[in-house]
Amino acid sequence: MDNREEYISNEHIARLPRHLKQFIKPQNYNAYTPINQAVWRYVMKRLVQHLSKVAHASYLDGLKQTGVDIDSIPNMYGMNRILKKIGWAAVAVDGFIPPNAFMEFQAYKVLVIASDIRQLENIEYTPAPDIIHESAGHAPIIANPDYAEYLRRLGEVGAKAILSNHDMEVYEAVRKLSILKEAEGVEQSEIDKAEESITQLQNKEVELSEMAQIRNLQWWSVEYGLIGTLENPKIYGAGLLSSIGESTSCLESTVEKIPYSIAAAQKEFDVTQPQPQLYVTPDFAFLMQVLEEFSNTLSLRKGGGKGLQKLITSNMVGSIELNTGLQVSGKFSRAILNEDNEVIFFQVKGPAALAFREKELIGHGIDTHHNGFSSPLGKLKNINLAIEDMGPMDLKAYNFYDGKWLSFEFESGVKVEGMNVTGIRNIYGKLMLIQLKDCTVSYKDEILFSPENGLYNMALGRDIISAFAGAADSNSFPNLYSESTTKTIKPLPSQSSHPLDEQYRNLRAYRNKKTNDPAFLKTMFDDIQLRYPNEWLLLLEILEVSEDKELSDDLVVHLEKLAASNPKLNSLIIDGMQLLSQSMTNA
C-alpha cells in the first residue's frame, strides 16, 4: 500500500508546495525484512544505553515524544500522529535530495526520512541517509522547543542560500557513493571510484557558495554538534546520535573540541571519514545567535549586483526583490552594471514570475512570462524623483499615466520609449510595474527590447535589496527542483530475501510470545553454527531470550571465539554481550 495518502493526515505535509511533494515516497513498511528489524533493534538498544550517559537531556525524552520505538522500525503514519503534537511532520524520501529542497522541507517543519535501512555489514555507520539516522537521530531532539525553532529557521535561511554548480556536483557524487555503499553486489572498485570522485571535488579550490557555507553550519550543528562545555560536552547532532562508533569516539580527547561560532561556516568536512574536530555550543539559543550573524552575510539580506551575479552563476531558479517590493523569479542570465557596480539592467532567460510579498501577481506567472523578463533599474536622468516615488501630480507632469506615449532616459543611459498601457501599484500606492506596447529599450548601441517582442513589462525600482535561491512564491515553479538522475538501487524481489530471514522471523515471534523452548533455540543455534559460521547478530538475539544456562554458556563461548577471530565483528559482539549482561543485572 502506498503510505503517501496516510501522510496527508498531518497538516504540515498538506501545505507543502508541489515542487516538494514530488520527493515524497511511500515507506513500504512491509518491505522491511526480519534482518532489517534486528539491525534497527541492535543499534537502538546500544545507542540508548550509551546515549543515556552522553547525549543531551532532551534526547531520551524525545524518543518517547516522537514515537521512535526501540524494538521496531518506526512506521511513518504512527510517527506523524505523534509528531503533530509538537508541530512537526515526517515524510519518506529516496536517499539524498537536493540541498535547497532538504532545507525547504525543514523550513516547513517537515523531517525528510530516508526510509531505507543500512545493511548488516554497515551496522555501525553508513554515509547514506537511512531511517536510523533520520528518525533515531533527528526526530527525538526536535522535541526540544529551542532546538526545533533553530532547525526551522536554519531551513528557512538555507532554502534561500544560493548554490553553485560545484555544490550540485558534490551532491550528486555523495548521493551516488551512499547508494553504492548500501546496495548489494556492488564491486569494491566501483565504490572506490565514487569515493575518489568525491575526494577530487573536495580538493578543488573553489570559493564556498552560500549553500556550501550553510551546509557547513548544518553539519557542525545539526549533524555533528556537541553542547555544553568544552571539558564535558553532550551530544545533540544526529550524525553522532545515530552512529554506534562515533557516539563513543567523538568524546575522546583525540577529537578536538572548538567553541561554535560563525567560523564553522568556513570549515568543510569529509562525509566518508570520522570527524577530527567538533564544535561545541553552550546552549541551543546560541545556535540561533550564530545563524542570525551568518544570515547578515547572505545575498538574501545584502542584495545588490553581487547577489544578482551569484544567481546568474548558479544557473538555477532564483529571485531578486526591488526596493518597491516587486519580486522577480527565474533563471537570471544577464546583468549590466555601471561604473559603481550598480545594476542598471537585468534579464531572465526562460520562464519568469513576478510577485509581491511572496504572492504571485495575477497574470504575471510563468505562462505569461514564458520567454523571460528584463528591466532597467535606477533613477531617471534630470529628474530628482524615482518613478515609484512620484505622486499623482508628478506622474501627470511626466506623462506617466495610461494611454500616453512615454520617452525617457535613465541616469545610466538606458532609454525607453513606448505607449503606456497600464501600471501595477504596491499596497502603499506606489507604482512597481508598468506595461508598454510598441516599446523599444536601448543602451548605447544595443537594442535590449524591440516592439516585435510584444508587450513590455518594466519593473520599477532603484536597486536590488535582496537576492535569493528559489521562487518568491513557492507555487510559481512546480518543477523548481529536478530529481537526481542517480537512482537508488533496489533489490529485485528474488534478491530481497536472505537465507536467514526465516530464522530471524521465527526468533522475533518467539520473543514476542515470551515462550520458553530451549530445544527450539538449541536447534536454531546448531543450524547457524553449521551453515553460517560468521553470523553473530542472530546469536545475540538467541542469547537474549535464552533461559537455559547450558545453552547460554555455549552461546557466549561461541560468540567470544567469533569476536576474537574477526576484528571487524569484535566490538559489535563484545558490546552486544555487555549490553545483555547489563540488562539482566538491571532486571
| The predicted structure's pLDDT at residue 272 | 72
Q: Which amino acid is at 231?
A: E
Q: Which residue has the higher pLDDT, 408 or 319?
A: 319
| The predicted structure's pLDDT at residue 124 | 76
Regarding the domain delimited by 4-292, which CATH topology (the fold level of the hierarchy) does it fall under? Phenylalanine Hydroxylase (1.10.800)
In contact, 46 and 244? CB cutoff 8 Å: yes
In contact, 360 and 475? CB cutoff 8 Å: yes
Q: Which three cell numbers stand for residue 224?
A: 555533528
Backbone torsions φ then ψ of 165, nearest 5 degrees: -60, -35
Residue 5: is its pLDDT beyond 80?
no
Cα 86 to chain center, whole Å? Answer: 20
Instruction: Provide the whole-model pTM.
Output: 0.86
Task: Dump pLDDT digits (tens) for 126-154.
Answer: 666 788 887 778 888 888 999 999 999 99
Task: Dump pLDDT digits (tens) for 474-497.
Answer: 999 988 887 677 776 665 554 456
In contact, 383 and 398? CB cutoff 8 Å: yes
Task: Dump pLDDT digits (tens) for 344-385.
Answer: 999 999 999 999 999 999 999 999 999 999 999 999 998 888
Helix (H) or strand (E) holding 383: none
| The predicted structure's pLDDT at residue 70 | 87
- The stretch 553-565 carries a mean pLDDT of 95
**Residue 173 and residue 45: Cα distance in Å, rounded?**
33
Residue 327: is its pLDDT beyond 90?
yes
Q: How many CB atoms lie within 10 A of CB 394?
A: 14
Helix (H) or strand (E) holding 201: helix 188-203
Q: Average model confidence (pLDDT) for the chain?
A: 89
HEC assignment per residue over 465-477: EEEEECCCCCCCC
Q: Which of 128, 62, 69 is nearest to 94 (CA)?
A: 128
In the three-class reduction of DSSP (H, G, I as helix; E, B as strand; rest coil), residue 251 is classed as: coil
Q: Domain ranges in the chain?
A: 4-292, 303-469, 501-586
- Sequence-distant (6+) residues with CB within 8 A of 48 are 60, 63, 70
